[in-house]
Amino acid sequence: MCRRDPLAMKSALVTGASSGIGREFVFALAKNVDLIYVVARRAERLQELQQQVEVPCVPLCFDLSLPSSIEKLGEKLKNDGADLSVLVNCAGFAKLGPFGQAGNLAMIDLNVRALVAVTELAVPFMHEGASIVQVASTAAFQPLPGMNVYAASKVFVLSYARALSRELAERGICVTALCPGWTKTEFLDIAQQGADKNTVHKMPFMTTPEFVVKCAMRAIKKRRGLCVPGLLNKAHFFFSKIIPSGTIMDIWELMR
């Protein structure tokens, strides 16, 4: 039996909402919820989004790599008595570069630490039937030299999401690990900033955030634990299970 108050306002929380995949999620979710909390650092982007979305958006300008931001986010949900139907943990970034490049620890703080912290603070505000989308990547399917910390952070996200989906199943909360491949967003510009040409890879067959989110919304509706958008990425997932990771790393290193 669903214990949810039928008059309660359904809301969503989307991190990384100011651009790319997260922003696209906000537009898609606006058709399904009454209110969306949108989190990112760039206030002007969030305010712009607020004007463009047909349901009320609450802009929360937080740097999620800071523990103080996580605390403030928790307080906001508590003060509002939030009833979350959907959490999308999308904030993340990558850095391409040689061993020991700058930004590796900041990547762990955002891609791993903040994702776990936001999940743990959001779950108590979720009800039976709610959904969590943890944005991982095809980078989670094998180690990636030149992107070592990023790929490892996404292995964490994928593993965490899959285990969490079992843990939260008895509460009726569905957890989907979303594994997009290369997608046309600001992500690659940020990843390549400061990288030399030896670490920049060819990114063939890039998809769009619209396509990624369309696949993810379908996965949410079907309550699937894993969503790998696109045939090529599905083939990548399949072959990563049967081809030794050393061979996949060799292929990756040839793609320069």
Ligand X SMILES: NC(=O)c1ccc[n+]([C@@H]2O[C@H](COP(=O)([O-])OP(=O)(O)OC[C@H]3O[C@@H](n4cnc5c(N)ncnc54)[C@H](OP(=O)(O)O)[C@@H]3O)[C@@H](O)[C@H]2O)c1
Give the count of alpha carbons within 13 A of 205, CB side only. Answer: 9
Residue 115 burial by CB count (10 A; 0-12/13-18/19+): exposed, middle or buried? buried
- 16: contact with ligand X by CB under 6 A: yes
219 binds ligand X, rule: CB under 6 A: no
Q: Determine, following the binding rule CB under 6 A, whether residue 135 of this chain makes contact with ligand X.
A: yes
Q: Closest CB to ligand X among 44 and 128?
A: 44
Which phi-psi region, left, alpha or beta, contains residue 181 (left: φ > 0; alpha: ψ -120 to 50)?
beta
Smallest distance from the beta carbon of 5 to ligand X, in angstroms? 31
Q: Is 85 in the site for ligand X (CB under 6 A)?
A: no
Asked if 45 is part of the footprint of ligand X (rule: CB under 6 A), the reply reads yes
Segment holding 139, helix H or strand E? none
User: Using CA atoms, how far apart are residues 38 and 171, in angstroms rounded to an integer?
Assistant: 25
Task: List Cα–Cα distances, 171 to 1, 152, 166, 222, 227, in angstroms.
Answer: 11, 29, 10, 17, 21
Q: Using the rule CB under 6 A, is 12 a contact of ligand X? A: no
Cα 94 to the center of its chain, rounded Å: 13
Among 12, 13, 14, 20, binds ligand X (CB under 6 A): 20
Are residues 58 and 79 in contact, defined by beta-carbon separation less than 8 angstroms?
A: no
Beta carbon of residue 14, minimum distance to ligand X (angstroms, whole number): 9
Sign of CA dihedral 74, 79, 84, 89: negative
Closest CB to ligand X among residues 19, 83: 19
Q: Which is nearer to ligand X, 83 or 230 (CB)?
A: 230
Using rule CB under 6 A, residue 65 touches ligand X: yes
**Alpha carbons 132 and 153: distance in angstroms, whole number:** 18
How many chain residues bind ligand X (CB under 6 A)?
29
Considering only 19, 142, 176, 233, the residue that binds ligand X (CB under 6 A) is: 19
> Which span sits near ligand X by CB under 6 A: 126-134, 181-189, 227-235, 244-252?
181-189
Residues in contact with ligand X by CB under 6 A are: 16-22, 40-42, 45, 63-65, 90-94, 110, 135, 137, 180, 182-183, 185-187, 190
